[in-house]
Structure 1
Amino acid sequence: MDPLDEAPKDPGAQLPAQTYDETDYEGHRAHTFYVGVHVPLDRRHSHRRHKHHHRNSEVSNSSEEDRPLTPPAQRVQFILGEDVDDGSSETHPLFSEMLELIGDGDEMEWRETARWIKFEEVVEEGGNRWSKPHVATLSLHSLFELRSLVLNGSIILDMEAKTLEEIADLVTDNFISKGTITEEIKDKVKEILLKRIRHQHQCKGHVLHIIRSLTEIGKNHSTSRSGCLPLTRRSSTKKKRKNATPSETVVRTDSSHKRNGSYVSLTVGGDKSEGLTKSTSATSIHRNHSTGDLGSMNGDIVHHNLQFMRKIPPGSEASNILVGEVDFLEKPLAAFLRLNTSAVVGDLTEVPVPTRFIFVLLYPPAMNSGYHEVGRAMATLMSDEVFHEVAYKAKNRNHLLAGIDEFLDAVTVLPPAEWDPAIRIEPPAAIPSQDVRKKPPPEKPPAEIDEEDEEERYREENGLSRTGKLFGGLQNDIKRKLPWYLSDFKDALSLQCVATWIFLYFACLSPIITFGGLLSEATGKNMAAMESLVSGFVCGIVYGFFSGQPLTILGSTGPVLVFETIVYDFCLRIGWDYMSLRFWIGTWISVILFILVATDASASVCYITRFTEENFATLIAFIFIYKSVENVFSIGKRYPINTSGFTNIPSKCYCIPNEIAQQGHPEMDWSHFNRTTCLSYNGTLVGEGCSTSEYVPDVFLMSILLYIGTFLLSVVLKDFKNALFFPAKVRQFVSDFAVIIAIFSMSFLDFKVNIPTPKLEVPKEFKPTLSTRGWVIPPFNGNPIYTALLALLPALLGTILIFMDQQISAVIINRKENKLKKGCGYHLDLFVLAILIEICSLMGLPWFVAATVLSINHVNSLKLESECAAPGEKPQFLGVREQRVTHILIFLTIGLSVFLTPILKHIPMPVLFGVFLYMGVSSLKGLQFFDRILIMFMPPKYQPDYMFLRQVNIIIVILESDHKSL
């Protein structure tokens, strides 16, 4: 016996020898399974040998009793850990395809019935279409039968062949050399192997007619159009398929696989202890070119499914499983082949992927044992991450058997009475790593990682450790970001950046205009919408070109607005010029920020914990949501709903002209002027109804519809990439432009309905709002000289607000979860911001700092997902498209908004308020603090399966969330 083919020791061999009669063996295979353990090679000997053979082998068995049994997992880990010099064993992703023999006589052909990349897809019988990808569930019996075939069948590794005819010659010659078949049926076997191959995409009709005649209804659509045979197996196979489904549970122990109380044995010819037969040169073997139907090799054009190629990872190879029933065999034939060099074997594979593995299984009609399921088992094994690496590195039969045993070790058993095998299991959202199966556990437990050293290393990588020299952190940030500067512009060449630019343009423009209106009231029109637009233009472009993290979006913030209001009220009471005092405050803020940059003070942001980040982000998100709702209801105050009818509302209001206007226009009838026209001509409104808000039908209700419609449309379209309709590119396009589509759709609806809802108001001229000031602020303008020093006190408060706003937003953007690759730039960001604050103070513009919600939405809209996803596999998050162009274009367009007034004046304000609501809600996604708040309102049985809920009592989670919210 070849030592490489020697069977591992039976775990039960150490027990005392016993003598069994036939009743002990009856039904043994029907009721006994080795589940999750190595199935010994010697076990099947005992089922087919006589009692005296047992007695004769007792001596040899006793000599092996002391040899320890190596678990399959360890053997697989040893195989995978071996160093191989040649490149033939280099593993590649595998695409597995299963072909079955369909039809009778001369009409027989190989038809594609299933395929695997990671999950199984089957051709629906009668439906002539692919099923949804699902987890391949197998019967344990089919796995054991497959193991028997690998144990007893032909194994040819490193076969030298390039065509299907060469492969058929080598396989049949190997069958003859092992005595599995005779010369009489060699040509028949070869003819079967070379039958025409037809894939599913070749059987689909090009046009599916909706209306068909009555005679066409009973016909198979694919047969009439493509000449494909119906997907029906041969007669004996039909009977067994009534009891077997394409998706059987991992372990089935019911009677659906039994025959007369016991399982049918798969006895394959040949000596199973015989050594492996390596393929000789293909040119040294005589081949009969006249037999078989070579299909594409005989002049037919090879039609590959090129559309499906985008689902297959680059560098993939193919494994083909051929299963068929033939009437000239008396026992099954099985062969596992591995080509030495992968090659595209004609049209054997659906896609133009080189074939590496071929598994052939031919069986006689009388043996009704579910060989279709055996083929599925082999294909599933080849799609298994661990076994397919074993198949690449296997040097003999025992290595393949070890891979199967390890797979049996890792399978999960489903009880037959608790699961319906007809139900297909949906692919999971995340697949656990298989590295535990590949690598042996470490001999010594890994040394405990010093958390302080790990934290220090992380700080150094992100520039959050003090360098000990002046402007050291700034220098490191520049060195870190400079190599990526050119790529920051090249990486923006994507349609996704265009969608982000337009979406965030409207998302930034609306709060700038709104903030300008609030600032106008708070500062006596010293700064308003025009100053906000100019500030956004200047700050946005400069920050986009020179910042360390251009994904951070600058904007107006609430704390800064409150600070401006307090300073203006102080100046109003004292009698000082507000803009001059603000100039000195901004100058001191810039000086303090420069000092913080020089001393590497930004390194202190490493102490900003996730607790601080998420509470701050949640607070800002709720402010966005609250403000959007408040702004919509403010429309109801200006345009109230008339709930009392017209009789109870005072409506008498007249316009009386002044003397000058009446003398200039004596012919005008002032009594018919409405309020707006009357006030425009300096008229006077008289009457009890003049104090009543002007009633315009349906304005408030229409505003609510536009507000809710914009929000819902944005949410639905943003999630459209996961929908079941249209191709992937269309879904991705709709998802990228979701908010833009919502804005234009609702604006078009408002235009068609023609209800006078409030519209976006943009300044028409480029000049300061207050005519008494210019674009350069004088340092004192009548203020005492000591105000330059006095401004230091409010500057300290302003520095704290700006530093915290900027750095907390930057920390949220630079999280590990976002998988940023180009590094951080906390010191560089603060340096650029200090320069911008001084420019804004000199020109009398609002200060812009990092806006948390806008920055989070900027990152979310630029997220990247894997394009080449296997059917059923969820796209993997790859990172964020890090670039500067979107930031620059957003604020460049904001600066040009003055010239876009004819277009922007048609956008209703409720639509922009709906965008506010969407940004606030979308920024809450992924915040653990908000997730814990939601858990408080869920019954335990509906709570998500979070890991911390498994380890922490729900009461503690609720108390912790309440504590943080307070």
Structure 2
Amino acid sequence: MECILTAALTGILFALFAGQPLNILGSTGPMLVLEMIIFKFCHDQGWEFLPLRAWVGLWSALFLLIIVAFDLSALVKYITRFTEESFACLIAIIFIVEAFKKLFAITDKHPYNIHPEIPLDYTCSCYHSNFTMPDPNNATLMNITSQIGYSVFDMTKGMSTALNQNKTDSNVTDYSTFLTKKECESKGGMMMGTGCDTIVYHDNVFFLSIILFLFTFGIAWTLKMSKTSRFFPTFVRQYLSDFAVLISILCMVLLDLYIGVPTPKLEVPKKFAPSNDKRGWFINPFHPNNPWWTILVAAGPAIVAVILIFMDQQITAVIVNRKENKLRKGNGYHLDMMVVTVCIVICSLFGLPWYVAATVSALAHIMSLRKESESAAPGEKPTFLGVREQRVTALLVGILSGLSVFMTPILTIIPMPVLYGVFLYMGVAALKGMQLTDRILILLMPTKYQPDHIFLRHVKTTRVHLFTLIQILCLAVLWAIKTTKSISIVFPVMVLGTCFVRKAIEKVFTHDELKWLDDIMPDDSKKKKEDEEELKEDDDGDEETESLLGDEKRRLNEMKAIYGQGDKFGGTKTPFAQDRVNITEEVNKTGIWLQVRRDSMPVIRDPDQNNGGLHNRKNGSRDKKDKKPAEKTSFFVGEDERTPLKEEHEEDDMV
């Protein structure tokens, strides 16, 4: 319930007041790691967790306010693609790994039998604690066995009821008629028999969970990629791509209901109350079990929390505001941090989890709001136009998250393996489009099969591989620190350390190489040199302006002469077209446009040649030879393609 309330509260506040509402707040893996560290620390010291956590949150809010007041969010200029993709890739890997971990954790409650050829003994019954074991020769009382679970003994109706409810047929599966060991002991009974310690296997539960997991991911990924397929009209593929995850969830829920196997389902609280019944909603920071000096001790973890919150929030914001997304509105780094600070204060005092910008969710939000051009010509790919920048979707996410409390009957039928498949899809989708992912794939490709990436045109392949290996090494160090509990407290500091690693590799790579492989970090030492150069340019500005104006005036006079006198300047100069049609490269290569190009080619004849009559017909072959090579028509080409087409005329003559 705490997570649902936090998602609704922070989602609505951030959507209404944030500077960049395209970010989606959520509970991230690094933040959960930090809270687990604080919880373990409190448990070891014998302190109350939530009051100390409240002080950590209040100290963190104070430090974040200082960051906002002094505009320290401007430090995001030192966060380059190297740090962005390392952090985003780490979060995506966490999603993928945790999805598989949760899937295989199903075997803890629903194990599967790896040796089905060995017969199993399930001879076990639930008896009264004062019950005396009968004579083994009495088959009536001892034949209380089952092939699929523990036998049932109804403590209110007696042994005869137990005999009637017992299932001796292995083909019958009725999970409601069997008591577990804990249920038997809770009713005052005890388990007796030779098979009481035999593990109860539920093979169908685990293997159906695998099917639901893989099919959820497969359907969502296939529908998402259907946007570029050749099937169905464009608007159908667009809708299938936008609602890919929802369609996959609905299909797998219906399949699970049809089969009827009791797979683990989503657990949703039935009432609006804290998960722990012993506490209320408001957390009193002054708890009697915690010494007064714990208020000061909380400042230490708060510094670590501030580093993690700042890096998590701002790295996600930098990724969202990347120029590739073609955003038009402002960034709002400082305002976003202020809104997050207010949310952290509220969450700390009410015992709610801390929510910051979630990288994977924000990227999924950006992908769902992409705008593309309509394909007008055959074979033309749609062009990315930008992102729909608005607050409605983020606001609806927050509102619907809060209303999910009233949808408990619907949410409880969703199998957990389906949600694990959604996590896998979100992790894999976040990796798609990263330059780091492209460079890792290039490591496994021969040179002749490598895609035509822009950085491969300007940087040697060996240098690209070296840059990739350094980034992979940083990613491995971050993963190792995160998974090692004893040193996981320094994880936020190591995330910040990637910025210093990026600064250090400037000694290894040149400025041009980093320009294509990464972003250029600002250099304060160069500001003075740039200012001096600007002053020199200002001094020489008047002379340069006059010379430039003179050159421009001369060009304008030449163009006027060409337009006014035409062929007197050689007969091969064509005025610039004012009604040029923009044609894509794909259409340019089609046979239809090549024919238009040949048919629209002007023919310039010798002025001394006679026009008309028998003489002209007899010398028809000479006319073909006397054709002068003309330029491409302005209807077809631009200003940079005004060259004679000699080779094409020679091909036409040969034909």
TM-score past 0.5 threshold: yes
After superposition, residues 62-141 of structure 1 pair within 5 angstroms as none
Say whether residues 1:533 and 2:533 are aligned partners.
no
Change (3 A) 1:682 1:586: farther
Q: Aligned partners of 2:451 and 2:71: how far apart in 1?
A: 42
Bigger helix share: 2
- Gapped regions of structure 2 (runs ≥ 5): 132-152, 167-177, 474-655
Out of 370, 376, 385, the residue aligned to residue 869 of structure 1 is 376
Q: State the Cα distance separating 1:681 from its structure 2 match.
A: 4.1
Q: Aligned partners of 1:686 and 1:614: how far apart in 2?
A: 59
Change (3 A) 1:650 1:780: farther
Say whether residues 1:739 and 2:245 are aligned partners.
yes
After superposition, residues 740-819 of structure 1 pair within 5 angstroms as 740-782=246-288, 783-819=290-326
Q: Aligned partners of 2:194 and 2:304: how far apart in 1?
A: 49
Kept in 2: contact 1:706–1:911 (CA 8 A):
yes
Name the aligned partner's letter for residue 832 of structure 1.
V
Q: Aligned partners of 2:191 and 2:364: how far apart in 1?
A: 47
Secondary structure at the residue paired with 2:371? Answer: strand
Secondary structure at the residue paired with 2:95? Answer: helix
| 1:435-483 per-position Cα deviation (integer Å, ceiling 9, x unaligned) | xxxxxxxxxxxxxxxxxxxxxxxxxxxxxxxxxxxxxxxxxxxxxxxxx
Question: Could you say what the CA RMSD is over the residues aligned between the two structures, in angstroms?
Answer: 2.2
Change (3 A) 1:608 1:713: same
Q: Aligned partners of 1:744 and 1:898: how far apart in 2?
A: 19
Q: State the Cα distance separating 1:880 from its structure 2 match.
A: 0.9
Q: Which residue number corresponds to residue 44 of structure 2? A: 573
Q: Aligned partners of 1:577 and 1:667: how far apart in 2?
A: 48
Q: Which residue number corresponds to residue 931 of structure 1? A: 438
Q: Aligned partners of 1:763 and 1:683: how far apart in 2?
A: 30
Q: Aligned partners of 1:780 and 1:688: how far apart in 2?
A: 55
Q: Aligned partners of 1:668 and 1:801: how far apart in 2?
A: 63
Out of 37, 41, 62, the residue aligned to residue 591 of structure 1 is 62
Say whether residues 1:949 and 2:456 are aligned partners.
yes
Say whether residues 1:552 and 2:23 are aligned partners.
yes
Say whether residues 1:674 and 2:145 are aligned partners.
no
Q: Aligned partners of 1:605 and 1:776: how far apart in 2?
A: 35
Change (3 A) 1:825 1:596: same
- Gapped regions of structure 1 (runs ≥ 5): 1-529
Out of 69, 87, 94, the residue aligned to residue 623 of structure 1 is 94
Q: State the Cα distance separating 1:895 from its structure 2 match.
A: 1.8
Kept in 2: contact 1:638–1:694 (CA 8 A):
no
Q: Aligned partners of 1:798 and 1:859: how far apart in 2?
A: 27
Q: Which residue number corresponds to residue 78 of structure 2? A: 607
| 1:639-685 per-position Cα deviation (integer Å, ceiling 9, x unaligned) | 23323126344534432345799875546745743317546646444
Q: Which residue number corresponds to residue 459 of structure 1? A: none
| 1:289-348 per-position Cα deviation (integer Å, ceiling 9, x unaligned) | xxxxxxxxxxxxxxxxxxxxxxxxxxxxxxxxxxxxxxxxxxxxxxxxxxxxxxxxxxxx
Change (3 A) 1:880 1:791: same
Q: Aligned partners of 1:870 and 1:707: how far apart in 2?
A: 40
Aligned length: 437
Kept in 1: contact 2:372–2:386 (CA 8 A):
yes
Q: State the Cα distance separating 1:943 from its structure 2 match.
A: 1.2
Q: State the Cα distance separating 1:608 from its structure 2 match.
A: 0.3
Kept in 2: contact 1:819–1:878 (CA 8 A):
yes
Q: Aligned partners of 2:471 and 2:437: how far apart in 1?
A: 11
Q: Which residue number corresponds to residue 594 of structure 2? A: none
Aligned-pair identity in percent equals: 52
Q: State the Cα distance separating 1:953 from its structure 2 match.
A: 3.0
Q: State the Cα distance separating 1:850 from its structure 2 match.
A: 1.0
Please report the TM-score for the alignment, with normalisation by the length of structure 2.
0.64
After superposition, residues 372-771 of structure 1 pair within 5 angstroms as 530-645=1-116, 647-657=118-128, 666=158, 669=161, 672=166, 673-675=178-180, 678=184, 681=187, 683-686=189-192, 689-771=195-277
Kept in 2: contact 1:670–1:678 (CA 8 A):
no
Q: State the Cα distance separating 1:837 from its structure 2 match.
A: 0.6
| 1:204-256 per-position Cα deviation (integer Å, ceiling 9, x unaligned) | xxxxxxxxxxxxxxxxxxxxxxxxxxxxxxxxxxxxxxxxxxxxxxxxxxxxx
Q: Aligned partners of 1:828 and 1:659: how far apart in 2?
A: 70
Out of 381, 396, 403, the residue aligned to residue 889 of structure 1 is 396
Q: Which residue number corresponds to residue 964 of structure 1? A: 471
Q: Aligned partners of 1:685 and 1:534: how far apart in 2?
A: 43
Q: Aligned partners of 1:748 and 1:557: how far apart in 2?
A: 30
Name the aligned partner's letter for residue 731 of structure 1.
R
Secondary structure at the residue paired with 1:655? Answer: strand
Q: Which residue number corresponds to residue 424 of structure 2? A: 917
Kept in 1: contact 2:375–2:381 (CA 8 A):
no
Q: Aligned partners of 1:657 and 1:865: how far apart in 2?
A: 71
Secondary structure at the residue paired with 1:739? Answer: helix
Bigger strand share: 1
Q: Aligned partners of 2:158 and 2:124: how far apart in 1?
A: 21
Kept in 1: contact 2:29–2:94 (CA 8 A):
no
Q: State the Cα distance separating 1:696 from its structure 2 match.
A: 2.1
Say whether residues 1:848 and 2:355 are aligned partners.
yes
Q: Aligned partners of 2:97 and 2:425: how far apart in 1?
A: 12
Kept in 1: contact 2:54–2:285 (CA 8 A):
yes
Kept in 2: contact 1:628–1:916 (CA 8 A):
yes
Name the aligned partner's letter for residue 179 of structure 2.
N
Higher RCO, 1 or 2 (CA under 8 Å, sep at least 6)? 2
Kept in 2: contact 1:762–1:897 (CA 8 A):
no
Q: State the Cα distance separating 1:875 from its structure 2 match.
A: 0.8
Q: Aligned partners of 1:911 and 1:669: how far apart in 2?
A: 39
Name the aligned partner's letter for residue 769 of structure 1.
S
Name the aligned partner's letter for residue 716 of structure 1.
T
Q: State the Cα distance separating 1:728 from its structure 2 match.
A: 1.5
Q: Which residue number corresponds to residue 581 of structure 2? A: none
Secondary structure at the residue paired with 2:258? Answer: helix
Q: State the Cα distance separating 1:587 from its structure 2 match.
A: 0.7
Kept in 2: contact 1:656–1:670 (CA 8 A):
no
Kept in 2: contact 1:653–1:688 (CA 8 A):
yes
Q: Aligned partners of 1:544 and 1:883: how far apart in 2?
A: 9
